[in-house]
Structure 1
Amino acid sequence: MTDQDLHAALIGVPGSRRDLNTPVLVVDRPALERNIARMAAFAAGKDLKLRPHAKTHKSVDIARLQLAAGAVGLCCAKIGEAEALAEGGVTSGLLITSPVVSAPAIARLVALNASTTDLMAVVDHPANVAALGAAATAAGKPLKVVIDLDPGIHRTGVASAEAAVALLQAIQAQSGLTYSGLQCYCGMQQHIESFADRKAALEDRAAHIQSVIAALTAAGAPPPIVSGSGTGSHRIDAELGIFTELQVGSYVFMDGQYLACDIAGAGAEASPYEASLFIDARVVSANTPGMATIDAGFKAMSTDAEPPQVLAGAPEGSRYFFMGDEHGAVLPPSGEAAPGLGDRVVLGAPHCDPTVNLYDTYHVVEGGTLVALWPVSARGRSR
């Protein structure tokens, strides 16, 4: 049965969150909307544009909320995510932040370009520039491309100012391509917990980015946009004067990794954003004293971060441990009673992007009431 089959009848029923079939992905709508509003206000106050990253939520519904709050478009990690948003009506201002290289993917890219407005894709290799240029020329509509700059991760992007200028020249040689700017995402720095340490690391990377901007400008092509930054770095990046737009993503949900960071330099406890994404689970076995087994294991959340915090349904200070694909253990502090059979336990989401990708549906709640079911529109659209 689908989530719609299981839960549509619960929408609007007071207290219906407690009756959801578990494990289930839950979004607190008021908290989500506060996060969206706060980031939009921050960007506007710094005269920066906002192009949030949809790889976090993969949701047409959340994208619409971000656009309504003033975002100029959405970033997508893969062309499949961009296609999913476009299918849902989000057809303007999409930026694909990973190179699109294979022949089938390039064919899809030019088709998407034909049906959307202001689509952009990153490039980091002359051969890819040539392939995109030929495809766009044949399709009859120029494709906007953004030079991807390697911030030092060696994952994607050109590695130097010289390579950026050479790539610019390759783009300019293609009549089917339009040079649209520069992208640099400093992913390694996002989760440095100390604000001071994160600031120092980002200032080091800023000098590298500025040297590339200067080289492109000297070559007669100052980047129309400089896109980058993230949830962990945006407060610092806004003061560096490099970026014209922010690619922030996880701020909508604030998973455990980001909640551990001092985002604004006021202590981690004073984050300007709040948790809005949760996993509701239920005790399915309570035969071992001092422990309860819940129905959320490896298949219910990402495992590349610390185990989730137990937020509700168990004594304060209870800890979660993975117990396999389908199960987890909740251990209360010594002397405290474990939750009982059938009790609901609320977990904070670990790394939100891969956690979201495990679910078909967001169960949107206000208080204890289910108010909507939103599809995870781009779930599995990783190609």
Structure 2
Amino acid sequence: MSPTAPDRSTVLLGTPGSRERIDTPALVLDLDAFEHNVALMAETCRRAGVGLRPHAKTHKCSTIARRQIEAGALGIGCATIDEAEVMVAAGLPGVLITSPLVTDGKIARLMQLVSQGGDVMVVADHPQNVAALDAAATAAGATLRVLVDLDLGHHRTGVAGVAEGVRLAREIASWRALRFAGVQAYGGHLQHIADHAERLAATRAADGRVADLVRELTAADLAPAIVTGAGTGTHRMNASGSPFTELQAGSYIVMDAEYGGIEYAPGEAWPFRPALFVAVAVTSANVPGSVTTDGGTKAFALNGPRPRVASGPLAGAPYEFSGDEHGRIALPDGRAAPALGTVLECTVPHVDPTIAHYDAIHCVRGDRLVEVWPVDARGRRPAAAA
């Protein structure tokens, strides 16, 4: 199905039992669990006195982003200019592009968003990029807010240390068309440390690095108005006792098997509920002891734990891939093969790249399909379309 094609499942909206009649493979979102997760993170941040700028790279869906903002989020994080274009077009405020934009094409698209009145900020980690951003903003007659990106040890993007961060902030502030807006410090490598005590220790060490940069910037008369970062795995640790003014958590809205494998806190289960599943259908049962489904490697992300059947007659059974378009489920001892066409919902290994496979999210309450939301920020858009 193309991104603009109508979803045939819409004919089922509101029909009893329609959850089991969605055309497979498909993304299925349990709205009750999703709404619980959105409200809980918003309330957690409110109580801690910290802002929430959830990351749209998780869901790539402007409808979900709007729900998050309506619940109290101050804006949306975007990993790419592609996502940012969709969020701005949807009229959403506070869009922060969290990866440096350095090519001429992407910077031109950024300037188009800013010139059209989009509420957009970017990050940078190199003076060369800062100069290019200023040249483009000057040519467009625009003013651009830029944050210093600080590397916390993930070694993906970011300035190497505190001294480099102060120098770059001064560089940003020196240009006529740029405004120094703050600091981003995202520790992606911290989010999935399984042991809580180990994750807490690593997070506090990273907090100290951020605090050092904030202190030095303040001493240089460049106190950052925004200090943004953190994620689902460290959100509670970063919500209090840290230098962050806002959190960028993303996966909490639906959770996935990766987060299911780490310790939330000693003696505490994760408060966020699994809300997203991949629905597949049984297509063959001729091999004794197993069944074949219509969900292969194109239907799931391949990083993270293997999926498991989450509900139905084979609940708990591990899911194996049997090619691009097929999956295989071994029948538990004594379990009969489900009838052909039986729909089985499976856990999601890693939510972000799994959602990126699909054009639509099928929203259910109980046994009914009630809404279909487009995954409108997936894919790549050519610079010529800017």
Instruction: Please give the range of the TM-score, normalised by the shorter of the 2 chains.
Output: over 0.9
Structure 2: how far apart are the matches of 1:9 and 1:244?
A: 45
Matched, 1:38 2:40: yes
The one-letter amino acid paired with 1:160 is G
Aligned residues: 380
CA contact (8 A) 2:7 2:360 kept: no
**5 Å matches for 1:70-89?**
70-89=72-91
Say which SS state the counterpart of residue 122 (structure 2) adopts.
Answer: strand
- Note the alpha carbon deviations across 1:261-299, whole angstroms, 9 max, x for none: 2224434xx211001111110000101111011111100
- Note the alpha carbon deviations across 1:157-178, whole angstroms, 9 max, x for none: 0011111111012111211000
Say which SS state the counterpart of residue 4 (structure 1) adopts.
Answer: coil
Q: 1:5 to 1:198 in 2, by over 3 A?
A: closer
Matched, 1:60 2:32: no
Aligned match of 2:162: 161
Aligned match of 1:209: 210
Structure 1: how far apart are the matches of 2:314 and 2:118?
A: 52
Q: 1:278 to 1:382 in 2, by over 3 A?
A: farther
Say which SS state the counterpart of residue 299 (structure 1) adopts.
Answer: coil
Structure 2: how far apart are the matches of 1:32 and 1:120?
A: 28
Aligned match of 1:191: 192
CA contact (8 A) 2:207 2:242 kept: no
Structure 2: how far apart are the matches of 1:89 and 1:11?
A: 27
Compute the displacement of 1:89 (Å).
2.3
Structure 1: how far apart are the matches of 2:288 and 2:102?
A: 55
Instruction: Normalising by structure 2, report the TM-score.
Output: 0.95
CA contact (8 A) 1:330 1:338 kept: no
Compute the displacement of 1:88 (Å).
2.1
Compute the displacement of 1:20 (Å).
1.2
Aligned match of 1:224: 225
Aligned match of 2:281: 282
Matched, 1:173 2:174: yes
CA contact (8 A) 1:315 1:337 kept: no
Aligned match of 1:17: 19
Matched, 1:134 2:160: no
CA contact (8 A) 1:118 1:144 kept: no
Compute the displacement of 1:115 (Å).
2.3
Compute the displacement of 1:241 (Å).
2.3
Compute the displacement of 1:5 (Å).
4.5
CA contact (8 A) 2:107 2:133 kept: yes
**5 Å matches for 1:233-248?**
233-248=234-249
Aligned match of 1:27: 29
Any stretches of 5+ residues in structure 1 without a counterpart?
Answer: none
- Note the alpha carbon deviations across 1:108-167, whole angstroms, 9 max, x for none: 111111223541100000000000011111211210000000011111000111111110
What is the percent sequence identity of the aligned residues? 47
Aligned match of 1:200: 201
How well do the aligned residues superpose, as a CA RMSD in angstroms? 1.4
The one-letter amino acid paired with 2:126 is H
CA contact (8 A) 1:331 1:338 kept: no
Any stretches of 5+ residues in structure 2 without a counterpart?
Answer: none
Structure 1: how far apart are the matches of 2:314 and 2:122?
A: 49
Q: Which moved more, 1:278-287 or 1:192-201?
A: 192-201
